[in-house]
Structure 1
Amino acid sequence: MVDPVRSEFILGGQRSGKSRRAETLARQWLDKSPEHRAVMVATGQAWDDEMRERIASHQADRAVRVPGMVTVEETLALADALKQDSDPNTLIVVDCLTLWLTNLMMPADPAQAFPEAAVTAAGEDLCTVIAAAPGPLVLVGNEIGLGVIPMGREVRAFVDALGRLNQRVATACDRVTLMAAGLPLTLKDRT
């Protein structure tokens, strides 16, 4: 496993090993110095029983794999959460950008959906924070643009927005890793 860098974007499909890689990087960071901290910024929301169970399972597993990692839940104001917790001795893991974008574009109450311009601005703010962060960042997101074109207008808009967000975040990060079957493929490494 490679050491954490200033910023890494980890992409992949479901169950590709994205979160496990992020947790491994956080564990390595914590093991390097007693002064190091690790913070998980969780963006998922528990809309139903299955999601509540999934979140609880992730929390329990993470507590075993990365003891000492603090979890902060932030579903909308991601850039602000990163600014608040970023510090040279703190590695922040964001899991995940896809759920964050879902929260902006497809909330439980459609009347609360962010307009396209606000979604774009939120992505730009996030990239500005990534570039200026004083401590290491590990961002996790889904690569969903490899399949067929979605049938519904709203889903196509989401896939397009996620593709644009992924491209902007990849540009802002020093390292970009694609995960497949638990194996990392480095797409970009400016270290």
Structure 2
Amino acid sequence: MHELILGGARSGKSRCAELRAAHWLALPGHSAVLIATAEAGDDEMHERIARHRADRAVRVPGLATREEPRALAAALQAESAPGRLVVVDCLTLWLTGLLMPMHGAPADASAESEALLAALAAARGPVIFVSNEIGLGVMPMSRQARHFVDELGRLHQRIGAACARVTLMVAGLELPLKGAR
């Protein structure tokens, strides 16, 4: 069963996905991989990524990690298998890297989103997506920021429609939006 877990910064969304992975891994013959989409552009982000790696290794020791900031559809296709849970953390950073890359020109977010949705439809095992819900506040002032909010909202709607379960995390609490557990 596929799931989209949304929430604000420090809402507990990644922890929720890790808990789902830990439960999955407790079942005989199951494996799990996390596709991390973060890209380190400065020293603080390097440290943050290293801390997340170390913390995840303690919390969910059987969870493998693949770092893929751009080619998410291809990574999902490659990692999906029967008996294997794929956790994608997170769509927000992936879309940021596409629309506002540190190097090179922006990618076609619509085409990349289509490829990701096709990979999800073809997935041979369950997939959990983690993403920031950023559309609850005021409309941003800059054109680029408004475009990003719009694109992320569209992506969330499409991924949410394709998933059997959608969960909103607030203050570490799960609020089921679709397909209650």
Please give the TM-score of this superposition, normalised by the length of structure 1: 0.92
Identify which of 169, 173, 176 aligns with 1:183.
Answer: 173
Q: Does the CA contact (< 8 Å) of 1:13 and 1:180 recur in 2? A: yes
Identify the residue that residue 134 of structure 1 maps to in structure 2.
124
Are 2:37 and 1:43 equivalent residues in the alignment?
yes
Q: Give the aligned partner of residue 99 of structure 2.
A: 105
Paired-residue identity, %: 59
**Cross-structure match for 2:66:** 72
Q: How does 1:1-191 map to 2 (within 5 A)?
A: 6-33=1-28, 35-109=29-103, 111-114=104-107, 118-189=108-179
| Displacement after TM superposition at 1:151 (Å) | 0.8
- Within 2, Cα distance between the matches of 1:131 and 1:10? 18
Q: Structure 1: any 5+ residue segments left out of the alignment?
A: 1-5
Deviation, 1:14, is 0.3
Provide, for residues 30-66 of structure 1, a one-character-per-residue CA deviation record: whole Å limited to 9, x for no partner: 0011x21110100000101111111111111100000
Distance 1:151 1:80 in 2: 34
> Quick one: distance in 2 between partners of 1:41 and 1:95?
6
* CA distance in 1: counterparts of 2:153 and 2:17, whole angstroms: 21
1:91, 1:137 within 8 Å by CA — same for their partners in 2?
Answer: yes
Distance in 1 of aligned mates of 2:54 and 2:63: 12
Q: Count matched residues.
A: 181
Aligned structure 1 segments of 4 or more residues deviating by more than 6 angstroms:
none
Alpha-carbon offset, residue 135 of structure 1: 0.4
Q: Quick check: 1:131–1:173 contact (8 Å CA) kept in 2? A: no
CA RMSD, 1 decimal: 1.2
* Superposed displacement of residue 86, structure 1: 0.4
Aligned-partner Cα distance in 2 for 1:112–1:40:
27
Give the equivalent residue in structure 2 for 1:3.
none
Distance 2:134 2:81 in 1: 31
Alpha-carbon separation, structure 2, partners of 1:131 and 1:185: 25
Q: After TM superposition, give the deviation of residue 190 of structure 1 in Å.
A: 7.8
The amino acid that maps onto 2:65 is T
8 Å CA contact 1:174, 1:190 repeated in 2: no
Quote the offset at 1:121 in angstroms. 1.5
